Chains A and B, each alone.
Chain A
Amino acid sequence: MTATEWLLWARGPAFEIATVILVMGIIVRLIEILMLGRKENLAAPKGSATTGGLRTIVSRSVPDSGTFQRSTFTIVAGYIFHIGLFVVIFLLAPHILVFSKLTGLSWPALPTTIVDAFAVITILALIAVLINRLNNKVKRYLSGPMDYIVWALTTLPLITGYMAFHRIGFSGPMLIALHIMSVELLMIAIPFTKLSHAFTLFLARFYNGAVTGIKGVQS
């Protein structure tokens, strides 16, 4: 296959497959969770479960100061690479076009120099996160092969994207094909790995906030 054919495959059938797996996988996952149900809470509430749940979806993004001091690296590095991923994924013009095609929505892009800088920072943050995972005894203890595979799958599209933008190593069509295919690998992995937190986190935070919300505590 020529580079152009790889690119066509990546933009065509492979993207279809990845989209179907991602969309179906996540929906199955969410319905699986929701259909397990939870018992009605008969205790007289002190506060609203719904309000508490919705509040926690937002508030859990901001750690309390004590937690920030104790988990500074995890929080700072986590913030950096999550914001970086957001900027790189959602604010680069060619990427916005993909979302436009999917949803019909469009929004302004950032200059490539800025996105490029975010990509570099994000890659560095992810490398730091990996080193930390290997060195921090708790993270190392909790980590299985999947944690490292997921790290690689998350980092790869950033690296291939960087290579494609700067034309490193391969021809243009091949670089873009590699970049898109690495994204497709990531898309396929999301429903079956801890990456599903990108979707289930809203449920988890809601349930957490609902439990405390009933008790009149903000979590």
Chain B
Amino acid sequence: MSKATERATQVFKEQIDAPTAAFFSSCVSCGMCADACLFYTETGDPKYTPINKLAPLRKVWFQEYTLTGKLLKLAGISKPLTDQDLTDWEELVYDSCTMCGRCSMVCPVGNDIAYMIRKMREGFAASGHAPESLVGATRRAVEIGSPMGVKLPALQAQIRHLEEDTGLSIPMDVKGVEYLCMLSSMEIMNFPEYIGAIAKIFKHAGVSWTLSSEAFEATNSGIQIGVSEIAAELVQRIVDAAEKLKVNTVISPECGHAYTALRWEGPNLVGKRFDFEVKHILEVLDELRAAGKIKTKDKMSERLTYHDPCQIARRGGVLEQPRKLIREFSDNFVEMPDAGAMNWCCGAGGGVSSNERADEIRIKVFQRKKDQIDAVNPDALVSACSNCRIHIEDGLEEYHMELPVLSLTETLAEHLDDSVET
């Protein structure tokens, strides 16, 4: 056994737990997860069947943690993991899975396949079988502080521009405030309007908030590539900043996996419960709305639809809030088929967008989203994840579709009633 397979096997053994064993024990090879996965439905290639993407992990579970498997391994009938397995499955576990978890909702025996993909990536990353561009992003995240290489001066420059443009002040490193806002590099580089929108809404709602110069990056490449130690290090930066600034709540930005990383994996990665709350920006906005602190001046008449980012909706539990918020500024809101917890992934989550090797298939499987959009024929599409937005814009361009893709937070900010201070 080579060093790489040895390492992968060893990490799989660490990762396999009772749920993993229960899931593998229950699979009946019914293939329903394939019908739930856009990488299968849009390519028709059975190798993209979600449960098949787990074959290496399943093999190790069988050989190491079942009586039957141990005997068959001993008898030489069940062959050990090979380098070829790792090479063959690298594409399946990274390029063609966004960990969207739709298959986990469909599996009739209840297998949480996304949960296991996350575990399997640990072994693949540790054994040097992660995609090169994802490794690069992770390196930048650790060494520079952002997967896109965004440094503090870049953020400061954007803040200066925004403050000039909007006349609003954007607080930095203010202690004792209610909220610490995290950002994704994509927002800083591609959608700085988001920061302006936050500033506007929070001023309107009269709540205190700040950014942190020491931890502004919310995304977590460690989660995507599957290295818990690196993920923990990135989370720890945020925890340190939150504790230093003594905020009550850390706000995860319009980003899917950042929410999963901080809200759900965060405490488990750093090994302790947080002293502060973690909320997605949509949760915060909806709380403010419910408290009567958000008043809009008008409602859009354009036909709007909402794309649920997987990690926020299905894997995050933020389902009702965006709908309530959209109704604050729209009176023509339509749901796409399968919207909500069963929404289809845009095709770029789980590190796929950072993985150049996956560009082709990422665009190919966008067909699924296109069909979903076509079914309701909206005038604009709202979402709450910068990664989804960029990819959807990409996809729309590829498929020659004209459709504005809006940020929920930004759109809400645009329709705020400036005349009232709540």
* Given A67-B106, A70-B36, residue A32 in contact with residue B67 (CB < 8 A): yes
Known pairs A28-B67, A33-B18, A207-B19; A39 contacts B27 (CB<8 A): no
A70-B35, A78-B30, A143-B29 as given contacts; A200 in contact with B108, CB under 8 Å: no
Q: Is A101 on the interface with B (CB-CB < 8 A)?
A: no
Query: A55–B254 Cα gap in the complex (Å)?
Result: 30
Chain A residues lying within 8 Å of B191, measured Cβ to Cβ, are: none
Q: What residues of chain A lie closer than 8 Å to B315, measured between beta carbons?
A: 215, 217
Chain A contacts of B317 at CB under 8 A? Answer: 46-47, 212, 215-217
Contact check, A215 vs B109: say whether CB atoms are below 8 A apart. Answer: no
Contact stretch, chosen from B44-52, B147-155, B218-226, B352-360: B44-52
How distant is the Cα of A33 from the Cα of B2 in the complex, in angstroms? 29
A137–B29 CA distance with the chains assembled, in angstroms: 12
Q: Total contacts A to B, CB within 8 angstroms?
A: 176
- Nearest CB on A from B14, distance (A): 11
The residue among B112, B273, B341 with the most chain A CB atoms within 10 A of its own CB is: B112
As a 0/1 sequence over residues 100 to 128 of chain B, the CB contacts with chain A under 8 angstroms (1 = contact) are: 00001111111110010000000000000
Nearest CB in chain B: distance from A76 CB, A? 12
Which DSSP category, helix, strand, loop or mixed, fits chain A's interface? helix
Cβ-based interface call for A208 (8 A): yes
- Whether A32 pairs with B40 at a CB distance below 8 angstroms is no
Is A122 an interface residue, CB under 8 A from the partner? no
A105 at the binding interface (Cβ < 8 Å): no
Q: Is the CB of B111 within 8 A of A208?
A: yes
A73 to chain B, nearest CB (A): 10
Interface 0/1 of B70-111, CB less than 8 Å to A: 000000000000000000000000000000000011111111
| Contact A136 to B110, CB < 8 A, known contacts A33-B25, A200-B26, A208-B104 | no
Ordered by A's residue number, 7 sampled pairs between the chains whose C-beta atoms are within 8 Å are A35-B18, A36-B17, A38-B17, A139-B31, A204-B111, A208-B110, A217-B314
* Besides A71-B32, A192-B68, 14 new A-B residue pairs in contact (Cβ under 8 A), listed by A number: A42-B273, A43-B267, A66-B337, A78-B30, A140-B46, A194-B28, A197-B109, A204-B23, A204-B26, A205-B109, A206-B110, A207-B110, A208-B107, A211-B19
Measured CB to CB, the residues of B under 8 A from A are: 16-23, 25-32, 34-36, 40-41, 44, 46-47, 49, 51-52, 65-68, 104-112, 115, 263-268, 271-274, 277-278, 313-317, 319, 337-338, 341-342
A-B pairs, top 6 by smallest CB distance, nearest first, are A205-B110, A216-B317, A141-B46, A207-B19, A42-B267, A138-B31
